[in-house]
Amino acid sequence: MAFSWWGFFPIYFRLLPGVQPVEVLANRIVWSLLLVTAILTWQRHWGWLGRALRHPRSIASFIASSLLLSANWITYIWAVSNGHVVDASLGYFMTPLVNVALGYGLLGERPRRAQWTALAIAAIGVVWLTISAGKLPWIGLVLGLTFGAYGLLRKVAVLSALEGLTFETMILGPAALAGMVWWWGSSATSFPGPDLGTNLWLLGLGPATTLPLLLFAIAARRIPLTTLGLMQYLSPTVQLVIGLWLFHEPFTLGRLAGFGLIWIALAIYTADGWRTMRRLAPTAA
């Protein structure tokens, strides 16, 4: 449900055209913050906040992750609003391979031979996409790098998914709220809008952002990591299909070749992870 939800997200963003991406981002942050605050208040679960505020390194880490998250969100919102859903899907196809590169560069992890092969093939795919289009596939690269770096920071963070999202939206909240006050009723697509549909669409950004994250957190505790890794490809696959069949975005043979190289890289990466997990399973048991 979580990955399907993220996959169909472009449809939601296209339901109300004309809203500036920065306004969508501000509404998404503020309404998500209000929703997660309500959930934590209902759970009476605020003890973690005091502990987090006592550690400057933790605060610095979440400031960095919140900035990466906002950069990822604004890029994705802009891409979907401007007819680049296929390019956005490329970023999330590349994220697992970005994770391998970041793990090697920043955590000292040693990729296996198959992972190096997958990284090399993916790099060739990016080069080919650059040559065939005459420019870097910057949307996919920005989304893949920001989400990969965000995942790296969250991997070493001390807070859970809900707590972390709350802390991040708390950090981003003041600027987002100031922006909403500045735009208050200034146009037909600013909150509060002149019609109920616009207001409900903007308010819906909160649960549309928070609920799939909670579903993901619940699922991550209940299914094997390998299964979770395989299912993460569902989201960009759905986005790609929506971009091609629903929004009729162009997909030339050159782009197909570039995507194909990245898919081959993902297949090698996934098969290697699956084989490694099966080999280690008896030892873990």
Q: What confidence tier does 281 reach under pLDDT thresholds 50, 70, 90? A: low
Calpha distance 26→99 (Å, rounded): 28
DSSP 193: P
The model's pTM is 0.85
The predicted pLDDT at position 105 comes to 78
DSSP state string for 250-281: ---HHHHHHHHHHHHHHHHHHHHHHHHHHHHH
Q: Is the pLDDT of residue 280 over 70?
A: no
Query: pLDDT per residue over 51-91, tens digit each?
Result: 888 888 888 988 998 999 999 999 999 999 888 999 999 88
Q: Are 74 and 22 in contact (CB under 8 A)?
A: yes
The predicted pLDDT at position 78 comes to 93
Q: Is the pLDDT of residue 285 over 80?
A: no
Query: pLDDT per residue over 97-113, tens digit each?
Result: 888 888 777 777 787 88
Angle between helices 2-14 and 205-220 (to 10 degrees): 170
Calpha distance 170→34 (Å, rounded): 10
The predicted pLDDT at position 84 comes to 92
The predicted pLDDT at position 225 comes to 59
Q: Is the pLDDT of residue 242 over 90?
A: yes
Query: pLDDT per residue over 40-53, tens digit each?
Result: 899 888 888 888 88
The mean pLDDT value of the chain amounts to 84
Query: Residues 40, 44, 48, 53: is their CA dihedral positive or negative?
Result: positive
What does the block give as tokens for 192? 């509060």
Mean pLDDT of 213-219: 78
- HSE, side-chain direction, 13 A CA sphere, residue 50: 3
DSSP 244: I
What does the block give as tokens for 194? 């002149």
Q: Is the pLDDT of residue 30 over 90?
A: yes
